[in-house]
Structure 1
Amino acid sequence: MTSKMDKYEKRKKIIFYIVLTLLVISLIYSVIMFILAPSGVATIQGERVKSDYVLMVLQCLVGTIVIFLPKEVENRFQIHIPNGIEIMYFIFLFCAIYLGEVRDFYYRIPYWDVILHGFSAMMLGALGFTLVDYLNDTEKLNLKLSPFFVSFFAFCFSITAGVVWEIYEFLADGFLGTNMQKFITAKGEVLIGRAALGDTMKDIIVDTLGTLVIVIIGYITLRKRQENHKKEKNASS
């Protein structure tokens, strides 16, 4: 069991350093390209202007900071985050920032944004389960939370994280002139009314559906574990 944990720990560290290195290199690259890129609106398809590199710099900078978040949470709150969830987190940053923003997968790969939102929703839902289940099993707190409440917490945790991300996108678009919420089409058309809300609402809906999937699975798993625990307790008595 220990050797298996050590193997996951090594894999986690390797993935961490690979993703961190790519983010740092991409940050340096995007700063240089921001200086060299033309201002204004792109005149040909695929051309990147200063506003595009502002977004890339922002995303890479945020990525190089939040990649340390799991370790900081573990150290500050003395909570163990499973290596599997941390690995998923690092892979998500790689897919969302390096592939999505730097390598332009958001435009090259159909539904790349939808896939990432579904993936992140399930990852955050699993993290919510892990956190509250850890607190539930801590003897010092003496908590005995039902599977429904644990599932409800995980659902709220994941959805709240998704909403905070949309607020971050909205603020970035407003203050930095980026297009994270895709209210400007690839042809430069500025969307208005209901059409302008399309990307944001799609992201929230995908977050909700992805969270529901992991919450239902988690609830069933906790119910079965609780029932098995009761059977073992009755059998021992």
Structure 2
Amino acid sequence: MACSNPPRGTYLTYIIQGLILLSAASSILAGEYFLGLSATVAFLLTMAPSLMTKNLRICFPWEINLLVAVSFYLHVMGHVGEFYVTLAPYYDKLTHLVSSVTVALLAFFLAVLADHQGEIRLTGPAIAVFILTATLAAGAVWEIYEFAVDQVFGTGLQLGNTDTMSDLIVDLAGGAIVAAFAAIALARGEEHRFIRLFAEQPSGAEPSEIVGDPIDPARSR
């Protein structure tokens, strides 16, 4: 089911995606083929949210799509612009914080949506744990990726145990920020408002198709 006309904020995502493609092209022209390939993969990954929901009755919030694009753009520019070196170690931690918040928001959105659709029933603490687990899992996968690339290509993405652990701590902090926000929103019973406020309604769909039937307020979280 097609989404409604995209809000103006969506075009910010397109701009960021264009900048990623520009970085890929400039890297290839400069003979930095590995960076060009990495930037191209990053661009494709920014399209994942839209592809995931293409045949569903929902659209990811444009804010989420923008955060995904910004997360990958920061990573790409960290290498192409050498910000990981010139702004070390702060730039690296910034990218991890933005990325972890993005993953955590995705986890929160998906958990609340699944709960509203009646596919699963999650308590507030369970959603908070899911957010933290998903964020840390994504961070661990990223560190494994960096380790594998270093071993295969002889690069220096990882700078030792301290760097890896500090990255994971920042990832945990990002997940904790969103988990705290989720706990407050759920405690106030604002999960329905969250979906109505941020989820774009597919064209021709009724609100009930997006958020499902209201949950009994008496149901304890």
* TM-score interval, normalised by the smaller of the two chains: 0.7 to 0.9
- Which one has the largest radius of gyration? 1
- Percent identity of paired positions between Structure 1 and Structure 2: 25
Distance 2:191 2:109 in 1: 19
Report what 1:165 is aligned to: 142
Report what 2:186 is aligned to: 222
Query: Of the candidates 118, 125, 132, which is equivalent to residue 155 of structure 1?
Result: 132
Distance 2:80 2:147 in 1: 20
Structure in which a larger fraction of residues adopt helix: 1
- Higher relative contact order at CA 8 Å, sep ≥6: structure 1 or structure 2? 2
1:137 aligns with 2:119: no
> Runs ≥4 in structure 1, deviation > 4 angstroms?
76-79
TM-score, normalisation: structure 2: 0.77
Report what 2:165 is aligned to: 201
Q: Give the partner amino acid of 1:200.
A: T
Shift of 1:129: 0.5
Distance 1:210 1:134 in 2: 21
TM-score, normalisation: structure 1: 0.72
Q: Give the partner amino acid of 1:102.
A: V
Shift of 1:104: 1.7
Residues 55, 178 of structure 1: 8 Å contact kept:
no
Residues 100, 171 of structure 2: 8 Å contact kept:
yes
Structure 2 counterparts to residues 17-56 of structure 1, below 5 A? 17-34=14-31, 53=32, 55-56=34-35
Shift of 1:76: 5.0
Q: Give the partner amino acid of 1:180.
A: L
Query: Of the candidates 67, 83, 87, which is equivalent to residue 105 of structure 1?
Result: 83
Residues 54, 178 of structure 1: 8 Å contact kept:
no
Shift of 1:90: 1.3
Unaligned runs of 5+ in 1: 35-52, 183-195
Query: Of the candidates 148, 165, 174, which is equivalent to residue 210 of structure 1?
Result: 174
Residues 108, 131 of structure 2: 8 Å contact kept:
yes
What is the aligned length?
A: 192
Residues 125, 154 of structure 1: 8 Å contact kept:
yes
Shift of 1:168: 1.0
Residues 185, 191 of structure 2: 8 Å contact kept:
no
Structure 1 residues 170 and 58, CA, compared in 2 at 3 Å: closer, same or farther?
farther
Structure 1 residues 202 and 83, CA, compared in 2 at 3 Å: closer, same or farther?
same
